[in-house]
A and B are shown apart, each in its own frame.
Chain A
Amino acid sequence: MTWLPGGGGYSFTMSNVENPYSVQTSNGFSDILLQTDIPHFDIAEFEGSDNKNPGATDGITNSKAAPLVTYTAT
């Protein structure tokens, strides 16, 4: 990554990610580490907000079920 030093947050988007198929809350993204370009050396880590899964984000919850466009009963 090419980072721009800033006092606030850092953010980026990732495309082509598929939401959970279930409407139940997923597990969180885990093992979140910032590493230097020296292999295996961490410089920061996320402690996590979910006690069930330390080092993980909160899970993703779908608020809308995939709508059926048409439904025909014969």
Chain B
Amino acid sequence: MPSQIQIDTNTVKSKGTCASSPCTEATNDEQIVYLMTAGSKANTPIVIEIGGVTNPRSMSSTDDFVVTTLDTDGVSEIDSGYNKRARMTKVGEITSVLLVPTSDVNGMNNDYTFTMYSPIPITNNDQLKFTFPEQIVPPKNSEEMNCQGVTNINNVTCTIVGN
């Protein structure tokens, strides 16, 4: 499996061909090994369903998937290849973004609280980017802007870009 795709070793499941001809599986973080307990005829599609797979986080192409078939001794290689990559085409949808100022008085300099809900886990060093509307004046520069985490954010650094 490419490094960008995560396997949950607890939820790997074998369906497809493995449902009719049970397979014995062994799994680690990078590889899934299926031992076919029954043979199949030539030119018969072998379908294996894998569950518990987490898609890559970015929209860039993954490294290669590599499929290797081994003889009954588990060592002699019959074939190795495939070498296909996966690429995500749709980003997750943030379901809501809520902004609440501390003051409702026009022209007042105050604090804004941003709350958002992400459909995917977010990790250290991810970035949230947004554009201010023209009617609202952000801090003059990054030095005058103080951001503090409130919920589920430990440290936050805010930067003005293209001011």
Chain A residues in contact with chain B, CB under 8 A? Answer: 1-6, 8-23, 26-38, 41-47, 49, 56-57, 59-60, 62-67
Residues 29-61 of chain B, each 1 if its beta carbon lies under 8 Å from chain A, else 0? 000000000000000000000000000011110
Interface of A, secondary structure class, is loop
A18 contact set on B, CB distance < 8 A: 107-110, 136-138
Q: Is the CB of B97 within 8 A of A62?
A: no
> Contact check: which of B93, B115, B131 meets A44 at CB < 8 Å?
B93
Instruction: Determine if B131 and A29 form an interchain contact, defined as CB atoms under 8 angstroms apart.
Output: yes
Q: Does B105 contact A (CB under 8 A)?
A: yes
Q: Which residue of A lies closest to B115 (CB)?
A: A11
Q: Roughly how many angstroms separate A2 CA and B147 CA in the complex, as a whole number?
A: 12
Complex Cα gap A63–B84 (Å): 57
B interface bracket (residues with beta carbon within 8 Å of A) = 35 or more
Residues of B with C-beta under 8 A to A65: 105-106
Q: Quick one: CB contact mask for B101-125 with A, threshold 8 Å, 1 for yes?
A: 1011111111111111111111111
When distances are taken between beta carbons in the complex, the residues of chain A under 8 Å from B140 are 16
Is B120 a contact of A43 with CB atoms below 8 Å?
A: yes
B102 closest partner in A (C-beta)? A13
From the candidates A3, A28, A42, A63, name the one contacting B59 in the complex (CB within 8 A). A42
Q: In the complex the two chains form, is B101's CB within 8 Å of A16's CB? A: no
B111's partner among A13, A21, A33, A49 (CB-CB below 8 A) is A13
In the assembled complex, how far is the CB of residue A48 from the closest CB belonging to chain B, in whole angstroms?
A: 9
Q: How far is the CA of A31 from the CA of B131 in the complex (A)?
A: 6
Is A3 touching B154 in the complex (CB atoms < 8 A)? yes
Q: List 22 A-B contacts (CB under 8 A).
A: A3-B123, A5-B152, A9-B115, A11-B115, A13-B114, A14-B111, A15-B111, A17-B101, A19-B108, A19-B109, A19-B136, A22-B106, A26-B133, A27-B134, A29-B130, A32-B116, A34-B129, A41-B59, A43-B58, A62-B104, A63-B104, A64-B105
Of all chain B residues, the one with the shortest Cβ separation from A39 is B127
Contact of A60 among B99, B131, B155 (CB under 8 A): B99
